[in-house]
Amino acid sequence: MNGPEVIRVGAAEPGEVAARAASVVCAGGLLVMPTDTVYGLAAALDSPCALDHIYEAKARPRDMALPVLLSSIDAAAPLLAEPLSAGARSLAERFWPGALTMIVRASAAVPERVTAGLGTVGLRVPDSAVAREIIAAAGGALAVTSANLSGAESPRDVDAVPPELLAHVSLIVDAGPCPVGVPSTVVDLTGPEPRVLREGAVPAALVLEALGL
């Protein structure tokens, strides 16, 4: 059985990479793509079958929401139940593009398969031009979670993506090792006080400092 198609950044024109990757996800396929942190497994937000396929491919529990990567902060607007708070804007101005995921209230435009019924969504603008070009070409937002089996180490390069997951993938965009190499920091902004749920590439102390805490 043939494996997924591979397109290498640098061996193809930049526009060609983004266009090919976007065509795959917009047709309902799964994509392995580089980010600034680790390689991600991506699907279109408006493809229920592809979103289900992410959970299958990763053996991911259905009560775990899927993060959403954005091409820019402006692309967040349709996904938000309310405008970004002053604190969220401060974080975005300081850490986006970058390795900080902000959990905010989701609008009805975000599928329940993404929110896992929680009514919230984790948003991030990656500090990777390749990733942002792909996301922009696909409409500005994609569901993207780490390209690993659930609970396993997140892959910094394509060779570390498990073959069991690749069996579900239509296309791999290979840009070499991701520069950061560890997952993003996650901060929940939906409660009365911000909470750092996972400390990753961005130190929790810097997040709290940016919030004036």
> Of 181, 185, 124, which Cα lies nearest the Cα of 156?
181
Full domain range(s) for residue 165? 5-210
Tens-digit pLDDT profile for residues 27-84: 999 999 999 999 999 999 999 999 999 999 999 999 999 999 999 999 999 999 999 9
Q: From CA 139, how far away is CA 151, in angstroms rounded?
A: 30
For the cut 80, the answer to whether the pLDDT of residue 179 exceeds it is yes
- Biggest CA–CA distance in the chain, Å, is 55
Residue type, 107: S
pLDDT at 213: 82
pLDDT at 118: 96
For the cut 90, the answer to whether the pLDDT of residue 167 exceeds it is yes
Domain count, the chain: 1
Tens-digit pLDDT profile for residues 93-128: 999 999 999 999 999 999 999 999 999 999 999 999
pLDDT at 205: 96
pLDDT at 104: 98
Do 112 and 52 form a contact (C-beta atoms < 8 A)? no
Q: Which pLDDT band, with edges at 50, 70 and 90, does 11 fall under?
A: confident
Helix or strand run (H / E) with residue 90: helix 86-95
Return the percentage of the chain with pLDDT > 70, whole number: 100
Do 138 and 21 form a contact (C-beta atoms < 8 A)? yes
Do 189 and 171 form a contact (C-beta atoms < 8 A)? no
**CATH number for the domain harbouring residue 132:** 3.90.870.10
Q: What is the mean pLDDT of residues 134-161?
A: 97
Q: From CA 45, how far away is CA 31, in angstroms rounded?
A: 13
Q: Which pLDDT band, with edges at 50, 70 and 90, does 1 fall under?
A: very low
For 212, counting Cβ atoms within 10 Å of its Cβ (0-12 exposed, 13-18 middle, 19+ buried), the class is: exposed
β-bridge mates for residue 123, sequence order: 68, 102
The chain-wide mean pLDDT, for the chain, equals: 96
